[in-house]
Structure 1
Amino acid sequence: MTARPTVAVLDYGSGNLRSVVRAVERAGAEVDLTADRGTVLAADGLVVPGVGAFAACMAGLRAVHGPELIGRRLAGGRPVLGICVGMQVLFARGVEHGVASDGCDEWPGVVERLQAPVVPHMGWNTLEVPDGSSLFAGVEQERFYFVHSYGVREWELVTNDRTRAPLVTWAEHGGDRFVAAVENGPLSATQFHPEKSGDAGAALLRNWVGSLRPSPVAASLGSSS
């Protein structure tokens, strides 16, 4: 019998963690809710959830060395999935009420308030999924559940064909277009909540969990200083 992939859900004080844990478990993974360095680095996959304010989430992440752990995993090609504000903090900066906060800077770009007549954007929405998406395989035409007032309204990373360009999924609310998901090698993220998105969200999480592969370097990553 094939062992289930191991996934760490990063515990840094953000809300909604238990529902993420249950959803990833249902997707076929063995899940630890943890901030333990060794567990986070050794897991086959890491999920970074997040709800609330950008600056508060970054403060919580820094308290458990989250940016470093995310960076070390990605340097080793180890998968990471950000959800909602857990996606936003992967960008360079967030601006809330005129105050800028530094993010993890895995991607260039600014998280800013949506320019729509009604904010927050709350409810189900369709997506503009690019060809070749693995994350959305089989659910490209489905709707997903959003709850947010801020987003990335311009994709700034330019590869000039030197590396494979990320797959960027877009959505629109009130005439304002924003990044809804990104697939960039080992780093993936969704602005929407797959754990609240019914069958479509469950399928997306199964796609991600199904892509995880045990790595022979996981143990050494987890035990190294």
Structure 2
Amino acid sequence: MQSPSCVVVDYGIGNVFSVMQALRQLGAEVELSADLSTILAADRVILPGVGAFGKAVDTLRQMGLDEALRKFIATERPFLGICVGMQVLMERGLEYGTHQGLGFFEGEVSRVAQVDETGQKLRVPLIGWNTPVPTGPDRWNGTPLATTPPETDYYFVHSFAVNAADPADVAAIVPVGAGHVTAAIHRDNIFGVQFHPERSADGGQAFLAGFLAL
């Protein structure tokens, strides 16, 4: 059986080579590209991202990649956003001002509070390993998380988090202090995760294998 082709979007932002190496270890045919025809021909597309929301989304627009992603997602083939690559899928981001996102999901990306609802101080940015929790029974069915072992830890590093307007779009949360933040979003063929699967050892590889198997 031929390995599924996967394009990692090349826009100068994100751990692209770590992502590509992780996918190649799973036997995937991987290409780094910003070319519209290459993106549209792929079986799957991954949008990585690190850094600031505004810079990421502005770069995508300047390169015409926002429309490339819209056209790919319209094909109903699997799409994954990682970290800031997930955040830009929202309507807007509030990092260093207000920035218009790609708008695939309603809601915004805002700074993680430094004090939780009980008054406990939180160390922000959130750095380290955490365990996503599904937001409902069978919520992970049809997502890459369905193939990962229970209680799998993933590596997070972020100061901003997704606040989805529709709770149904949130597939997983992680505990932070007395509250929680969004760990994964999902609707139809669009998936997004706040954690870095490419930095999450065996659990991350299991997640990426699940994405390739969709």
TM-score clears 0.5: yes
Identity of aligned residues (%): 39
Q: How does the TM-score come out when normalised to structure 1?
A: 0.85
* Other-structure match for 2:137: 131
**117, 139, 158: which one pairs with 1:148?**
158
Matches within 5 A, 1:1-225: 2-97=1-96, 99-116=97-114, 117-129=122-134, 130-132=136-138, 133=140, 134-137=143-146, 138-152=148-162, 154-157=163-166, 165-166=168-169, 168-211=171-214
Query: Could you tell me how far 1:66 is from its partner in structure 2?
Result: 1.9
Please provide the CA RMSD for this pair: 1.5
Confirm or deny: 8 A CA contact 2:164 2:170 kept in the other structure: no
Structure 1 residue ranges without an equivalent (≥5):
159-164, 212-225
Confirm or deny: 8 A CA contact 2:36 2:65 kept in the other structure: no
Q: Which has the higher contact order (CA 8 A, sep 6+)?
A: 1
* C-alpha spacing 1:30/1:44, structure 2 compared with 1 (3 Å): same
- What's the secondary structure of 2:181's corresponding residue? strand
Q: How does the TM-score come out when normalised to structure 2?
A: 0.89
Distance in 2, Cα, partners of 1:94 & 1:155: 12
Aligned length: 202
Structure 2 residue ranges without an equivalent (≥5):
115-121
Query: Could you tell me how far 1:25 is from its partner in structure 2?
Result: 1.6
